[in-house]
Amino acid sequence: MRRVISFCLSLSAIFALLFGPIVASATESAASKAESATTGKRTPSHLIFLSGPKGGQWFALGALIAEVLNQDVLPTSTRIGGGVANIGDIEEKKGDIGFTLTCFMGAADSGEKEYERFKTKGVSIIGNVYPQVLYVLLRKDFADKYKIKTIKDLLAVNGPTRFASLKPGTASEFILSMLLKYGYNTDFKQLEKQNWQISFNNYAETADNFAAGELDCFAYTAGTDVPLIKTMEEYLDVLILPVETSVLDALSAKFKTGTYTIQPKDYACVTEPINTLGDYTTLIAQKDLADDVIYNTLKALYLNKDYIADTVIDFGSLSPDTAMPKGLSMHPGAVKFWTELKAKQ
């Protein structure tokens, strides 16, 4: 369904974005209170959507989602958040719906002590949105020097290696740390002992340094079509390293991550399919939100998928075929929506 809506937010959305909700999210009508008394679920008078850091893809999507929900579901405001912070804020009822990564929810359920900070008792997944892909980029001359064909080969290098990723606290750094520890039994400290020089920065500066020959390896997560990689290919010969099948299987079993296959048509440097770690940007919500609120939220987003994807193309990946992650708790309203939609296909 294509909506005829201007890119600018509606007045109600602008007021909500600037001044926050006029009525608190927990405020309920008499009918909602009656429902709450019988089902334990609630229908708020206003939704708070938790997006991502300013300037990022989640931030842009948050504004569009608030616009759609304002018109079709409930008054909605959006607030800046982050993948980890959004889980905690929804658990503490500081927000109703928001973005995170599926692997964060998987980590919370893994039983590993280091992830106990992810409190998810009151949080449910309501739908995977689009793939999040791990890219481990390596200069071809460096790969040829050390005969590197896989990540295992790379991690065996015991010598000067200039390696970079994105800043601690980002999805990239989290997934990479998880991969190193639980996939290859190593970490950044061990690699530094192997004479690796490890740095963390933002996308643009790290890519510039890589293209300028100041880095040997750049590892990070992004969507399925990354202009940054195509730009770097114009300046130097690069490789994208595969993740071994045994590692992908181990992480899938423990953290509910997946496998994503990069195809030769995707980037000039890819000559045969490459399997790497795959995850999803996913939507989460308070577990006690009424089923029809979640159902109608997902219905509005799905019907307006093309409109939202006009600005953020990855949102076009929203599909009943991939929306329900295996082995993780989902909100009943979400299960109902995606199951019914899939049955209609």
**Predicted pLDDT at 228:** 80
pLDDT over 60 (residue 2): no
The tens digit of pLDDT for each residue in 213-234 reads 899 999 988 878 787 888 888 8
pLDDT over 80 (residue 27): no
Looking up tokens 């500081």 gives 94
**Range with the lowest mean pLDDT among 9-23, 256-270, 294-308?**
9-23
The tens digit of pLDDT for each residue in 322-332 reads 999 887 889 99
Q: Which domains, ranges and CATH numbers included, belong to the chain?
A: 11-130+280-344 (3.40.190.10), 132-279 (3.40.190.10)
**Predicted pLDDT at 39:** 58
**How many CB atoms are closer than 10 A to CB 319?**
17
pLDDT over 80 (residue 258): yes
The pLDDT confidence band at residue 333, using thresholds 50, 70 and 90, is very high
The tens digit of pLDDT for each residue in 89-139 reads 999 999 999 998 888 888 877 777 777 777 788 899 999 999 889 999 999
